[in-house]
Structure 1
Amino acid sequence: MKKMKIALIGAGSVSFALGALQDIVLSERLKTQVDLEIALMDIVAENVNRTFKYATEMFTTFSHPANIWQTTSLEKALQNADFAIVAIEVDRYYYWSQDFHIPRRFGSKQIYGENGGPGSMFHTLRNLGPMLEIARMMEKVCPNAWFINYTNPEAKLVEAISKLTSIKIVGLCHGLDMGIHQLCDFLEMKPEDIGIEGGGLNHFGFFTKVWDKKTGEDLYPLFREKEQTANRLAHFDHIGLSRTMYHLYGYYPYPGTNHCGEYVSYAQDFYAGLALQYRYDPTREHLWKKDSRTPDFVYSASGKILDKGLYEPVQSQESWVNEAYTFNKENVKPSDEYAIPIIEAIFFDDEIQLNAVNLQNKGAIKGLPDDMVVETQAIVNGKGIFLKPMTVELPTAVIGTIHIQGTIHKLLLEAFVEKSKTKLLQAILLDPQAPSYYQACAMIDEMCELQKEILPALEWK
Structure 2
Amino acid sequence: MAVTKIVFLGASSASFGISMFRDLFSSQDLAGSTLVLVGRNADRLARAMRVATLLNEKSGAGLKIECTTDWRAALDGAEFVVHATAVDRNRLWKLDWEVPRKYGIRHTLGENGGPGGLFFTLRTLPVVFDFVREMERRCPRALFINLSNPESRIVLALGQYSRIRTIGLCHGIFLARDQVAAILGLPAERVDVWGAGLNHFQCLVQIRDRETGADLYPALREKEKDFEPSVAPLTRNLFRAFGYWLGCGDGHVGEYLSFGWEAGEGGYDFEWDESSRAKTERTIDDVLSGTTEIPSWWLTPSGERAVTVIAAVLHHRKQLIESGVVYNQRVIPNLPAAAAVEVPVLADRAGIHPVSLGPLPDPIAKLMTVQINVQQLAVEAAVQASKELALQALLIDPVVNSAVAARSLLDELWEINRPYIRKCV
- The TM-score normalised by the length of structure 2 is 0.93
Q: Does 1:426 align with 2:396?
A: no
Q: Does 1:96 align with 2:59?
A: no
Q: Deviations over 1:269-295 (max 9, x none)?
A: 212xx24756xxxxxxxxxxxxxxxxx
Change (3 A) 1:407 1:391: closer
Give 2:377's aligned amino acid.
Answer: L
Could you tell me which residue of structure 1 aligns to residue 229 of structure 2? Answer: 232
The one of 30, 33, 36 aligned to 1:36 = 33
Q: Deviations over 1:333-360 (max 9, x none)?
A: 1011010010111110001211110001
Could you tell me which residue of structure 2 aligns to residue 168 of structure 1? Answer: 165
Q: CA–CA distance in 2 between the matches of 1:336 and 1:121? A: 29
- Give the alignment of 1:225-304 within 5 angstroms: 225-233=222-230, 236=231, 239-271=232-264, 274-275=265-266, 296-297=270-271
Q: CA–CA distance in 2 between the matches of 1:193 and 1:64? A: 30
Which structure has more RCO (C-alpha within 8 Å, separation ≥ 6)? 2
Q: CA–CA distance in 2 between the matches of 1:356 and 1:195? A: 13
Give 2:408's aligned amino acid.
Answer: A
Q: CA–CA distance in 2 between the matches of 1:349 and 1:317? A: 36
- Give the alignment of 1:340-351 within 5 angstroms: 340-351=307-318
SS at match of 1:254: coil
Q: Deviations over 1:307-326 (max 9, x none)?
A: xxxxxxx9474344332565
Q: Does 1:79 align with 2:76?
A: yes
Q: CA–CA distance in 2 between the matches of 1:374 and 1:427? A: 19
Give 2:11's aligned amino acid.
Answer: A
Conserved? CA contact 1:171–1:359, under 8 Å: yes
Instruction: Compute the displacement of 1:14 (Å).
Output: 2.4
Give 1:240's aligned amino acid.
Answer: P
* Sequence identity (%): 30
Q: Does 1:189 align with 2:186?
A: yes
Could you tell me which residue of structure 2 aligns to residue 219 of structure 1? Answer: 216
Q: CA–CA distance in 2 between the matches of 1:227 and 1:80? A: 52
Change (3 A) 1:49 1:440: same
Instruction: Compute the displacement of 1:136 (Å).
Output: 0.7
Q: CA–CA distance in 2 between the matches of 1:248 and 1:92? A: 35
Could you tell me which residue of structure 1 aligns to residue 138 of structure 2? Answer: 141
Change (3 A) 1:39 1:104: same
Segments of structure 2 that go 5 or more residues without pairing to the other structure are 288-293
Give 2:233's aligned amino acid.
Answer: G
Instruction: Compute the displacement of 1:418 (Å).
Output: 2.7
Q: CA–CA distance in 2 between the matches of 1:93 and 1:227? A: 35
SS at match of 1:125: helix
Could you tell me which residue of structure 2 aligns to residue 371 of structure 1? Answer: 338
- Give the alignment of 1:334-345 within 5 angstroms: 334-345=301-312
- Give the alignment of 1:118-157 within 5 angstroms: 118-157=115-154
Conserved? CA contact 1:176–1:205, under 8 Å: yes
Could you tell me which residue of structure 2 aligns to residue 401 of structure 1? Answer: 367
Q: Does 1:19 align with 2:19?
A: yes
Q: Does 1:437 align with 2:403?
A: yes
Q: CA–CA distance in 2 between the matches of 1:240 and 1:222? A: 18
Conserved? CA contact 2:121–2:379, under 8 Å: no
- How many residues are paired up? 417
Change (3 A) 1:325 1:363: farther
Q: Which moved more, 1:212-221 or 1:132-141?
A: 212-221
Q: CA–CA distance in 2 between the matches of 1:92 and 1:7? A: 21
Q: CA–CA distance in 2 between the matches of 1:163 and 1:408? A: 15
Could you tell me which residue of structure 1 aligns to residue 201 of structure 2? Answer: 204
The one of 307, 313, 323 aligned to 2:283 = 323
- The TM-score normalised by the length of structure 1 is 0.86
Give 1:427's aligned amino acid.
Answer: A
Instruction: Compute the displacement of 1:13 (Å).
Output: 2.1
Segments of structure 1 that go 5 or more residues without pairing to the other structure are 279-295, 300-313
Conserved? CA contact 2:125–2:383, under 8 Å: no
Q: Which moved more, 1:382-391 or 1:336-345?
A: 382-391
Change (3 A) 1:391 1:216: farther
Q: CA–CA distance in 2 between the matches of 1:79 and 1:275? A: 44
Give 1:88's aligned amino acid.
Answer: T
Q: CA–CA distance in 1 between the matches of 2:30 and 2:423? A: 44
Change (3 A) 1:448 1:71: same
Instruction: Compute the displacement of 1:261 (Å).
Output: 0.3
Change (3 A) 1:23 1:143: same
Change (3 A) 1:392 1:197: farther
Conserved? CA contact 1:360–1:371, under 8 Å: yes
Q: Which moved more, 1:124-133 or 1:63-72?
A: 63-72
Give 2:10's aligned amino acid.
Answer: G
